[in-house]
Amino acid sequence: MVYIHVPFCHRKCTYCAFYSHGAPVPRRLTAYVDALLDEMERRKREQAHPIRTVYLGGGTPSILPLEELARIVEGLRRCFDLSQVEEATVEANPEDLTPEYLLGLKALGLFNRLSIGIQSLDDEMLRLIGRRHTATQALDALERAHEAGFHNISVDFIYGLPKEFQFSTFDFQLVTHLSAYALTVENGTALARQVEQGRVVLPGEDEVVRQYHECCRTFEAQGFGQYEISNFCRPGCHSRHNSRYWDRTPYLGLGPSAHSFDGQRRRWNSPMDLDNGGWEMENEEVLSEADAYNELLMTALRTTRGIPLAMVPDKYKKELHQKMQPYIECGWITVGDDHYRPTREGLLHADGMAAELFVA
């Protein structure tokens, strides 16, 4: 599987702590794609098997003009065996999805899944978090994407905003997958400053949890099953790409700050410096057995599949069984089919449980 990081956005959203650069000029986008194609050539031998999933994430990949996206797709075809690709996703912001852009994306012949960052259907909330689109633009973009032939569409929403999400205008028939993320206030963001100065007042934890349960209920009533703390899908429409991260499948990450994993080593690229050759692979961490097990706990407890006992090294099993007992008794975990599975309530405590279960 291949992940490509596109580190540009039209402007920074107030809550965003992701790595991205704002307001790029076309020359910089071209220089970025040149550097990305160089990296593909340099690292193509790291991908020994045919690629099953491709994911263009960011940042905002849809900021790239179609000509630049075409160069990326050509580069992928040149460097890798794409004959077995099942899923190729591109993240997009609604305001970029004009009819011409959508048809051009489709014509590239690779992308079969769109992930659209809608976030909210309330214009006041969209302004509050610094998004550039309106609710109407988002709904129109979704319809246009469908008309352009994209039938595997995921949409991102944010809950935990001052005004609760209203889904009354949303046509669930147009999407196969939904992601709902809690708004978090990250240090150093504009939102953190606004909250500190009292200019934005966010709901307390109980209200955020209530909104989460409300999202879950609404999505399930519309035929979407939950398979991860933030992810819901129609039957068979889970994200192949993201599910493989959670299964610890090796992947190749291209682009500035992208991470790669070969089954034992996690490596990540430096941030972008287009004036000095782009970026380099400069960080590496070899995972010990304990590190790998802790990562399994952290990711598996966020999925409804839970922890498969077959993936737990024998030497950690006894301690895991003992430490799980209180969670089973309080209803956060169920046992069956050789898995420890978090309940819906348990999913909300996934990080805390994982931290308690970590081994040194």
> Contact residues for ligand SF4 (CB under 6 A)?
9, 12-13, 16, 18, 20, 58-60, 93
The smaller minimum CB distance to ligand SF4, of residues 29 and 296, is found at: 29
Token couple for 83? 């004959």
The smaller minimum CB distance to ligand SF4, of residues 61 and 306, is found at: 61
**99 C-beta neighbours (distance < 10 Å), count:** 12
Q: How far apart are CA 145 and CA 287, in angstroms?
A: 41
Q: How far is the CB of 303 from ligand SF4 (least distance, A)?
A: 23
Residue nearest to ligand SF4 (CB): 16
Q: What is the DSSP string of 118-176?
A: EE-S-HHHHHHTT-S--HHHHHHHHHHHHHTT--SEEEEEEESSSS----TT--GGG-S
Q: Which residues contact 136 (CB under 8 A, 6 or more apart)?
A: none
Q: How far is the CB of 201 from ligand SF4 (least distance, A)?
A: 21
The smaller minimum CB distance to ligand SF4, of residues 12 and 106, is found at: 12
Q: How far is the CB of 18 from ligand SF4 (least distance, A)?
A: 4
The smaller minimum CB distance to ligand SF4, of residues 126 and 300, is found at: 126
The smaller minimum CB distance to ligand SF4, of residues 58 and 278, is found at: 58
Q: How far is the CB of 191 from ligand SF4 (least distance, A)?
A: 11
Which of 286, 243, 298, 297 has its CA nearest to residue 261? 286
Q: Which residue has the tokens 């799980």?
A: 324
Which of 208, 341, 221, 277 has its CA nearest to residue 32? 277
Q: How far apart are CA 294 and CA 313, in angstroms?
A: 11
The smaller minimum CB distance to ligand SF4, of residues 4 and 13, is found at: 13
**267 C-beta neighbours (distance < 10 Å), count:** 18
The smaller minimum CB distance to ligand SF4, of residues 7 and 75, is found at: 7
Which of 109, 107, 101 has its CA nearest to residue 145? 101
Q: How far is the CB of 332 from ligand SF4 (least distance, A)?
A: 31
Q: How far is the CB of 58 from ligand SF4 (least distance, A)?
A: 5
Q: How far is the CB of 272 from ligand SF4 (least distance, A)?
A: 14
